[in-house]
Amino acid sequence: MSKLNEISDSLTTTLKEGELHKVSLDVLETVGDSLLKDGILKDIPVLGAVFGVSKGIMNVRDILFAKKLLLFLKELSAVSKDDRLKQIEKIENSNEYKTKVGEKLLYLVERCEDPLKAQIVGKLFCSFLDEKITYLEFLKCSNAVQNLFTSDINEFIKYQSEKLQIELASQYISVGLMDIVFQPPKMVDKSRLYGKQSGTKIDLSPGNTFAKLSPIGFALKRALN
């Protein structure tokens, strides 16, 4: 079995059966401790696979990946094993997705530029497990998150309006969270302006272009609010 398959399979096992409430960043400080064999590595199988591949000697890249993975898993700690198992098996039994859940999640976590992004992806996956968004929406939202600055994601979640001026929304449009809407000019009857007879009978109102939340934008807000 390749290292990728070993880690992705162990991540799937962790998602289905792991004691995720025991996930803590403190484990990174105890790598190589023999007590881990019967402790956290037993409860969180994917950590055993990651540490096993590195043979207990982790370089900076290994530690950063492990931290991202732990923060991702920590966001799922409130979801019951039964709910995790049900949702993951639903995807695995579907013919729509060719990549295994564990492998896909590894790719997503690996692509996160920092631990905060991994945490956001964890929140999104938690929303999928809670059936707030679909698996496809999770994948699309995760892709959008990967291509935005964390500060832009936070600002997007805070916006109350469904519409934004184009100049404020360019980064959200580029990742599919908002769509461009064009309202064409239209004829306006101004024969009675303010209740009085007006000399101008018909006028042409100017058109308008703005950005509006896309279906994926709505899904991201639903998942993270």
**57, 69, 222 from 25: Cα distances, Å:** 17, 10, 28
The residue with tokens 């929303």 is 127
If one compares 46 and 14, the residue with the highest pLDDT of the two is: 14
Q: What is the pLDDT of residues 145-161, one digit of tens each?
A: 999 999 999 999 999 99
Residue 215, pLDDT above cutoff 90:
yes
Which range has the worst mean pLDDT, 49-58, 63-72, 93-102? 49-58
Its pTM surpasses 0.85: no
Percent with pLDDT over 90 in the chain = 49
User: What's the mean pLDDT in 131-142?
Assistant: 97
Quick one: pLDDT at residue 43? 66
Distances (CA, A) of 131 to 24, 83, 88: 25, 10, 12
pLDDT at 27 over 90: no
Report residue 118 as tokens: 């991994």
Both tokens of 122, joined, read: 């964890």
> What does each C-alpha distance from 143 to 2, 111, 140, 197 come to in angstroms?
26, 10, 5, 56
Least confident span in 44-48, 125-129, 135-139, 220-224: 44-48
Q: What is the pLDDT of residue 5?
A: 81
* pLDDT, the chain, mean: 83
16-30 mean pLDDT: 74
Report, as an integer, the average pLDDT of 110-129. Answer: 95
- What's the confidence (pLDDT) of residue 97? 85
